[in-house]
Structure 1
Amino acid sequence: MDFTPTEEQAAARDLAARIFGDLSTHERLAAAGTGTDAELWKALCAAGLTGALEEIGLLGLVLLLEEQGRTTAQVPLAVSCVYGLLAVDRHGTKEQRARLLPALRDGTAVVTGAFPGHGSIRADGAGRLSGTAGWVPWLRDATHVLVPDAERNLWLVRAAEAETVPVETTAPWAAGRLVLDGTRGERLGDRGATDGRSAAGSVDGTAATERAAADRAVAGGAYEDVLVAARIAFAGLQAGVCAGALARAVDHTSVREQFGRPLSTRQAVQLRAADAHMDTEAIRVTVYEAAWRFDEGLPCVTHALTAGWWASEAGRRVVHTGQHLHGGIGADLEHPVHRHFLWGRQLDAYLGSGAQLLDELGSLLAEEAA
């Protein structure tokens, strides 16, 4: 097990950090409101970072999302890569990959997903979908939505052909409610099919490669595979959000003085910051392990749940600490640290509560033991 980034992963991470640092400023974030910063998204895609996913893998994507989280950059990087590029590349047919991947790589198409829930959407024999997904991130900026039906089949729906209702949330994620009323969807490949592609994404076509890819796939098919990747990716985004919140708190307490001494010299402040640092590192290492196992084709369902639990539970603690260490200005809705707080809480809600994740993890471990 080696989490050292490859040369390609490190180069992509450094480039992303530079772009986010240059363009994801407080002023631009405020101007973007709840939607996407179109110029920033265009810069990321033009730099080839979205198209690099097939080369850098999920672990490489996690590194990019960490950099996004540090600046709370307003771009649909996580959703379009996980629900679009990765899902189509791993589970789409040859024709679907040829038709959809180019637009996803250059950012002209953006896919989001009606995950993690399923069961509220039903499909008939003709591929018409009905039902409602109550909260879908980046829906207002998406061209397509990846929708799981009650049978856990995956369908791609054109956002323009469905009813999308804006959902006001505290975090600026351009969220919306997806309403399907006989909307026609395109089924993504066959359930659990790999269409002759290995876990790394290379085309082979031999029966041996198909069997090997199937053996490495997450048990249960494409839905579970995409869900695992999404949990890992969004937990990686949370690691970056926490790191950014903590960095802001450290900067603030180093210069803010109380009774003639910087706040950072106070033991209580140091202990809170140290605990937040350990929580952030716990999120990061569990995410790295889960992403590495995913890329290697190893079982990683429980590892993704573990990373999700740390991101939910520890992430909430860290962003609260970051805001608390700013004192009164931490409650200012216009202060940059407040965005980290909002993103951290939104990611906590999206990943699921710690109790929910532990319940699912416990059930899986009990099944394995039996």
Structure 2
Amino acid sequence: MDFTPTREQRAAAGLAGEIFGDRSTPERLTALGTDADTALWKTLSQAGLPGSVTETGLLGLVLLLEEAGRTTAQVPLAATCAYGVLAVAAHGSPEQRARLLPDLTDGALVATGAFGTGEPPAVRATRAAGPTAHMTGTVPVVPWLTCADLVLVPDVDRELWLLRTDAPGVAVTPVATTAPWSAGRLDLTDAPAERLGAAPDPVGPGPYGDVLACARIAHAGLQAGVCAGALARAVAHTAERHQFGKPLDAHQAVLVRAADAHLDTEAIRVTAYEAAWRRDAGRGAAPHALTAAWWAAEAGTRVVHAVQHLHGGLGADLGHPVHRHFLWGRQLAADLGSGAQLLEELGQLLTDDGEEAA
């Protein structure tokens, strides 16, 4: 296997890095508060970055999200690409792809997904008639929902349904979360929806499993960027800050803590890369997605805590840029699920595969 990015993937990531570095500054993020950065989203869309993932694949998206995470850019890039662009491209009907992909790739449509940490929400499809149905149920927290036009919702039977947030029977209520992701509560009362893809495969993951794995991998890539950006701030701080007449980074305890954080960050990155590469290559990626999610949740939490600690008293300042990385790292870990939950799911998946092979 070879995770080396292609020329196209490197070019897209390089452009994303320039845009995020120029536009997603601490001052701008402070001014935004909890709002999504619509101006930055427009710039990304005009540069063709959301649409580029149709060519560069999930690994290309992971590289883009690394750059977004470095600056904690408040844009729905992960949600729109994982639950919109890639989901529709892989599982939509020809009519859905022709109708939805142009607006998803140029940023005119913002998408998100009501997937939680892995188990389908308590949403049921009623009055189903072929590709359409009406949905009833509640999803307590959906990231980026208040700025989304389209939401992908799995029902209790793991079928995927597309709903417009402005459709009758759809109620969106803002919800505060750890990270400022324009999240909302989704209440559905006989809301019209259209099926994405075929009915679930009783012997395979089907569209639900693929989209869930894709989202986990994408958010692991985002966590790799969050951790890398946080660690870069810690390196700069400990090099500049002096204690007992010498820089903080001259102390062995500081070096060891930073080195552990670096190793954790690299583990998140490489597992996300491998899982994305396997998905793009058409190989089984479900266990690898869970592995990447576990590293992102467990190691990601360790990294942002370590970096906050390495900043000393400044790490407790809610207005300091490093605190934003802390919030994002914690939010991503919560959205991916606890380490114990992910390991349990991975163990069950491996056990099931072993029984089938036997």
Normalising by structure 2, we get a TM-score of: 0.95
Cα contact 1:147–1:156 (8 A) shared by 2: yes
Mapped partners of 2:319, 2:78: distance in 1 = 25
Per-residue deviation, 1:151: 1.1
Residues 119, 151 of structure 1: 8 Å contact kept: no
Whether 2:150 is the aligned partner of 1:144: answer yes
CA contact (8 A) 2:123 2:155 kept: yes
Note the C-alpha offset of 1:297.
Answer: 0.3
Output aligned runs, 1:1-370, within 5 Å.
1-116=1-116, 117-126=119-128, 127-161=133-167, 162-191=170-199, 219-370=204-355
Amino acid at match of 1:293: R
- After superposition, the CA RMSD in angstroms is 1.1
Mapped partners of 1:358, 1:295: distance in 2: 24
Q: Distance in 1 between matches of 2:220 and 2:197?
A: 27
Q: Which runs of 5+ in 2 are unaligned?
A: none
Secondary structure class of the residue paired with 1:174: coil
Q: Secondary structure at the match of 1:183?
A: strand
One-letter code aligned to 2:260:
D
Q: How many residues align?
A: 346
Deviations 1:217-243 (A, max 9, x none): x93211101000000000000000000
Task: Output the amino acid matched with 1:324.
Answer: H
Structure 1: 4+ residue segments shifted above 6 A: none
Shift of 1:96: 0.6
Deviation at 1:274, TM superposition (A): 0.2
CA distance in 2, matches of 1:189, 1:292: 23
Deviations 1:232-273 (A, max 9, x none): 000000000000010000000000001111100000000000
Tell me the CA shift for residue 187 of structure 1. Answer: 1.2
Identity, % of aligned positions: 65
- TM-score, normalization: structure 1? 0.92
Alpha carbons 1:91, 1:192 under 8 Å: kept: no
Give unmatched runs, 5+ long, in structure 1. Answer: 194-217
